[in-house]
Amino acid sequence: MDLKPFGQTILDAQPFSKLVGVEIARFEEGFCELVLEIKERHRQHNGFVHGGVTSTLADMALTFAGGSVLQDVLTLEWKINFLRPGIGQRLVARGQVMSHGATQAVCRCDIFAVKDGEEKIVAAAQGTIAKRPQRKG
């Protein structure tokens, strides 16, 4: 099932995501792929993509993947391993659900830098995504 229109509605409601420039490439049950065209504003002083940008993309991919099976969600916890500098024209984050129950999902995400059409993994993340509690009253 294509969840891209639903995901776009969520993305459009997030001012920070719009500021960063994240786009949804694919979004279906248990999986999402987010893309970020690398601009000068995304770089740190050495010219690589800033780790905070890569981290933001990972967090978003984890929550979109988890949200595809749990609906309204929040990030409970996550970690990221930076494997190499982000160099290229774009970043691609692929998030997927590894396991889930009724209220939590364990998700993973690989982030790739794309340079001249070639993908190289730059980071790997894993996190726990929780269904947002419904408040009464």
pTM for this predicted structure = 0.94
CB 106 within 8 A of CB 100: yes
Percent helix, strand, coil in the chain, to 5, is 30, 45, 25
Whether residue 46 lies inside any domain: the answer is: yes
Mean per-residue pLDDT, 101-120: 98
Residue 136 lies in a domain: no
Q: Is residue 137 domain-resident?
A: no
- Rounded distance between C-alpha atoms, residue 106 and residue 126, angstroms: 7
The total of structural domains in the chain comes to 1
Residue 97, in any domain of the structure:
yes
Would residue 77 count as lying in a domain?
yes
Task: Examine the pLDDT at 137 and tell me if it is beyond 70.
Answer: no
Q: What is the pLDDT of residues 59-86, one digit of tens each?
A: 999 999 999 999 999 999 999 999 999 9
The pLDDT of residue 46 is above 80: yes
DSSP code at position 19: H
Q: Reply yes or no on whether the pLDDT at 1 is more than 80.
A: no
Residue 16 lies in a domain: yes
Q: Enter the tokens of residue 66.
A: 């988890």
Q: What CATH number corresponds to the domain at position 95? A: 3.10.129.10
Quick check: is 63 in a domain?
yes
CB 58 within 8 A of CB 125: yes
Range of the domain at 42: 4-131
In a domain, 59, yes or no: yes
